[in-house]
Amino acid sequence: MRSPLLSLYPSWQLMQDILQAISNSPLAAFTILLLVVLIIPPIFERLRLPGLVGLLVAGVALGPSGIGVLDGETETMHLLSDIGKIYLMFVAGLEIDLGDFRKNKNRSLSFGLATFAVPLITGTIIGHQFGYGWNAAILIGSLLASHTLLGYPIVQRLGIVRNEVVSITIGATIFTDIAALLVLAICVSIHQGEFSTTSFVLQLTSLALYSIVVLFGFDRAGKEYFRRTGDEQGNQFLFVLLAVFLAAVGAQIINIDKIVGAFLAGLAVNDVVGNGPVKEKVEFVGGVMFIPFFFIGMGLLLDIPLFIETLTQQYSFTLAIVLGLLGSKLLAALLMKGFFGYGWYGTFTMWSLSMPQVAATLAAALAGVQANLINSQVFNAVIVLMLITSLLGPLLTERFATRMPLPKHFFEEAPQGIWWETQAQESIKALEEGLIAPPHAFSVVVPVSNPLTTMYLIEMAALLARHESGRIVPLVLSKAHVHMDEPDLDHAIFQARRLLTRAVDIGKSFDVTVEPAIRIDDDVANGISRVAREQDASLIVMGWGESIGLRARLFGNVIDNVFWSSHCPVAVMRLLDEPITMRRILVPVKNVTPQTIRTIQFALLFADVNQAEVTVLHVSDRRTQAESVTDFETSLSNVLSTGSFQNSFKTRPAISSLISEDVAGTIIKASTGYDLVILRSIRRRTAGGLAVSDVTTEVVNQLSCSLVLFGEPHS
């Protein structure tokens, strides 16, 4: 029987009514946005396209130019898009490494001035030549003057972040973004008829005072708040969010666009949050929700017929903008080559890193459109510019950065001693000064909870401790209750004692000192870290755990939080056989850093216990110069031949270099002849859970032998 509703309306009219009802419902719109963010970016990334491109396409498809299920002009979309825009600029400020900027501030400011001024002048000339007034033309120039460091993960993976040309490019981001946002604020003020010499001076004065309050006031208040709240990450997270939106509201009060305040807030709390778990949570929430909402909102604003007209009939303006950006950024990099004598590959790396136009450019373009200062033609050209540079920039960075020589500071910064030997020297010094020192210089804390994995973990810890005449501390954590006489707590402690009894028996069979401990704590990860600090542990040995579910992604799992909060290295183990039977050890490394060297130290310590062989494997792609491979092997050999290594370890590792485009596949193939693979944990800055590199993730998932993931706090 046909529905009476269908008899009253044609099917297309019914569909339109349904879409209209959905677009008018804030809850339905929010649900659709979540669905898009969940599904679309992974699809585009599989096609080797940036996920943000997928979000823009989804916005177009769902907006007025598509099926019309979302409306960019509703209050809901305005609010979510504004939050995303603010969050985007805040994260841009938060990601800047202020330490590197301070070390190379003069050259960073020089390149920042060049890569800002040259594109600004170029864009202004282009805008004026195409009939825009000087005010709008200057704003168009400022849209080209900033840059987004999309290539940062590439140079980080290659281990050249500390290379001078990379450091000054990263540092220049501070200058270009602030200057571009300042130009935006002035241009909007002029356009709104509020500009005069007096108002300009007042605007600059208020902006200067506002910047001082945000940069210094928020920084000091944040450090004090974090000091007082200790491990209360939830309240610290809320404090950071409050700082962001308070800065945005403050910017509006002094008649400056809110994205200026968000960027300054990012710089202000940069030192406060450091690279800790609060920063990761802030970036995670923005990266999975609010920032994607902003890009979808940008897609909703795209007028497809006008966009096609811009690309076909008015393509000359878009072409001029794209070529002007590429040429002006290249000229700025060439100026640095002339002044400071950088090599060609370094120069082209600076160019490719400063090329992508995403964060500040899109946010400023949207602000210009909303202020009616620039029209849809400019907005469409900026979208094309973003698409081209976000694809071309990282590709060129990958091409040129791999040909740069390794930084010469690797060997200079390599650790000059073994981490636990340094700890032993401090203990001896404490005894000589009459202070209380730990009874054993080398201590291993072993959290145990699963009877099935306890044996191998205790065996591994006992072998290491026995080699260094140290001790092991088997630890069982019980969750705290309000009342200490709760039956559940009594049962948990009883089970803990049973587990520890077994751990003690295993440890004593290896003739090593065993000091079991039970800890009652509200937080398991913090309890482990606190016991390790109280026992002055040299190492924490933990069993493998999986990151499953939204809570693990958002708040991290136990292993992840121990990595963040511990004072000593952490070895997370997935042992498929008895440690005493392991004779061949593989240690894949990608660069020579202090963290890499300490990973090799751990491998050599275990190798000495079992008289095992250690192979250090370095895999580089085919574009890597032979000179760089040789430099890597020489630097690593120099470190491994130092007195600290010669005196501390009997095992002499072999160094193997392979050329392959598939790094993970090569490591997996090489691992088939080994009993144990030791990987270094490398934390992604914008992910939650046990966050390691993509290569490490693939290797971990496919390894068929035992595995140790070795990491250090804040690594």
pLDDT beyond 80 at 635: no
Residue at 496 is within a domain: yes
Q: Ranked by mean pLDDT, which of 200-209, 302-311, 583-592 comes out on top?
A: 583-592
CA separation for the pair 275, 176 (Å, rounded): 23
Range of the domain at 500: 438-542
Pair (191, 117) in one structural domain: yes
What's residue 683's pLDDT?
47
Residue at 75 is within a domain: no
Percent of the chain with pLDDT over 90: 1
Summarised one tens digit per residue, pLDDT across range 607-626 is 888 888 888 888 876 666 66
Q: What is the CATH number of the domain that holds 175?
A: 1.20.1530.20
Summarised one tens digit per residue, pLDDT across range 548-569 is 343 334 334 677 778 777 888 8
What's residue 607's pLDDT?
87
Pair (479, 425) in one structural domain: no
What's residue 649's pLDDT?
78
CA separation for the pair 224, 228 (Å, rounded): 6
Please enumerate in sequence order all residues whose Cβ is within 8 A of that of 602, keeping only pairs 6 or more positions apart, or say none.
Answer: 539, 569, 571, 678, 708, 710
Pair (447, 568) in one structural domain: no
Residue at 65 is within a domain: no
Neighbours of 617 (CB within 10 A): 20
Lookup: tokens for 142: 């400022």
Pair (696, 713) in one structural domain: yes
Pair (160, 268) in one structural domain: yes
Work out the pLDDT band at 684, boundaries 50, 70, 90. very low
pLDDT beyond 70 at 433: no
- The answer to whether 174 and 267 are in contact (CB under 8 A) is yes
In the chain, the amino acid numbered 703 is L
What's residue 694's pLDDT?
60
Residue at 202 is within a domain: yes
Summarised one tens digit per residue, pLDDT across range 51-101 is 777 887 888 888 877 777 887 777 788 788 788 878 877 877 776 666 666
Residue at 159 is within a domain: yes
What total number of domains does the chain contain?
3
- The answer to whether 476 and 448 are in contact (CB under 8 A) is yes
Summarised one tens digit per residue, pLDDT across range 119-159 is 989 989 988 888 888 888 888 888 888 887 766 656 766 66
Element (H, E) at 488: helix 487-508
Q: Which residue has the higher pLDDT, 200 or 209?
A: 209
- The answer to whether 364 and 148 are in contact (CB under 8 A) is no
pLDDT beyond 50 at 685: no
CA separation for the pair 90, 95 (Å, rounded): 9
DSSP string, 198-261: HHHHHHHHHHHHHHHIIIIIIHHHHHHHHHHHTT-HHHHHHHHHHHHHHHHHHHHHTT--HHHH
pTM of the predicted structure, to 2 decimals: 0.58
Alpha helix stretches (DSSP H) within 341-375: 344-353, 359-370
Please give the backbone phi and psi of residue 91, each rounded to the nearest 5 degrees, phi first. Answer: -65, -35
Pair (382, 427) in one structural domain: no
What's residue 692's pLDDT?
43
Q: What is the CATH number of the domain that holds 635?
A: 3.40.50.620
Pairing outcome for strands 706-711 and 570-574: antiparallel
Alpha helix stretches (DSSP H) within 641-693: 643-648, 663-670
Summarised one tens digit per residue, pLDDT across range 484-529 is 767 777 777 888 888 888 888 888 888 888 888 888 887 788 888 8
Pair (453, 585) in one structural domain: no
Please enumerate in sequence order all residues whose Cβ is within 8 A of that of 505, keeping only pairs 6 or more positions apart, or say none.
Answer: none
Mean pLDDT of the chain: 76
Of 56-60, 358-362, 576-580, the one with minimum mean pLDDT is 358-362
Q: Dihedral of CA 403/404/405/411: which sign?
A: negative
